[in-house]
């Protein structure tokens, strides 16, 4: 064989085996990435049920009580690129809570009437449920809807 044929066979071999190894390494990396295979997680915060999408894990929990006796329970879930922040307020005059700033507008998400605002790549939805006030902050409205409805 002459040098040209050897060089051609070498190039074709590198291309074929390189593409096979690229596919197999992509499959291997996909196998290691459990996010796609993980189910959503159902959680209950102060008796209110939420659905946390696959890929998010609880990273922080805060509880506090203000001078009026209103308790705030805050759970933060970290995902691959962002967070979901859920706060539930209760044990006080929650029924009198109003969102008075001009950034929030009335809307309904997943059957819940509330107020929303969007800024800095995050979406905030605030609504009342029973004798509690709920605030959810996420990357977009579809994540907020999934957290509330599970769909």
For the chain, which residues make up each domain, given as ranges?
A: 1-32, 41-149
Looking at per-residue pLDDT, the higher value among 145 and 101 belongs to: 145
In the prediction, which pLDDT does 48 show? 97
CATH fold, domain 41-149, is Protein Transport Mog1p; Chain A (3.40.1000)
Q: Which two tokens stand for residue 77?
A: 């879930």
Q: What is the pLDDT of residues 73-117, one digit of tens each?
A: 999 999 988 999 999 999 877 666 777 777 899 999 999 999 999
| Other beta carbons less than 10 A from residue 39's beta carbon | 8
Q: Quote the pTM value.
A: 0.74
**Residue with token string 């309904």:** 108
CA-angle at 135, arms to 133 and 137, nearest 5°: 175
| φ, ψ (nearest 5 deg) of residue 88 | -125, 125
């Amino acid at each position: 064989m002459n040098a040209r044929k050897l060089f051609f066979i070498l190039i074709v071999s590198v291309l074929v085996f390189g593409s096979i190894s690229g596919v197999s390494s992509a499959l291997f990396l996909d196998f290691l990435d459990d996010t796609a295979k993980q189910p959503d997680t159902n959680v209950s915060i102060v008796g209110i049920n939420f659905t946390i999408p696959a890929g998010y894990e609880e990273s922080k929990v805060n509880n506090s009580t203000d001078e009026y006796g209103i308790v705030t329970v805050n759970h933060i879930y970290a995902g691959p690129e962002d967070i979901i922040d859920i706060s539930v307020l209760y044990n006080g005059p929650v029924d009198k809570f109003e969102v008075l700033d001009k950034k929030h507008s009335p809307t309904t998400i997943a059957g819940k009437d509330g107020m929303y605002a969007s800024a800095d790549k995050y979406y905030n939805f605030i609504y009342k449920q029973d004798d509690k006030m709920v605030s959810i902050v996420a990357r977009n409205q579809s994540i907020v809807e999934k957290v509330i409805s599970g769909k």
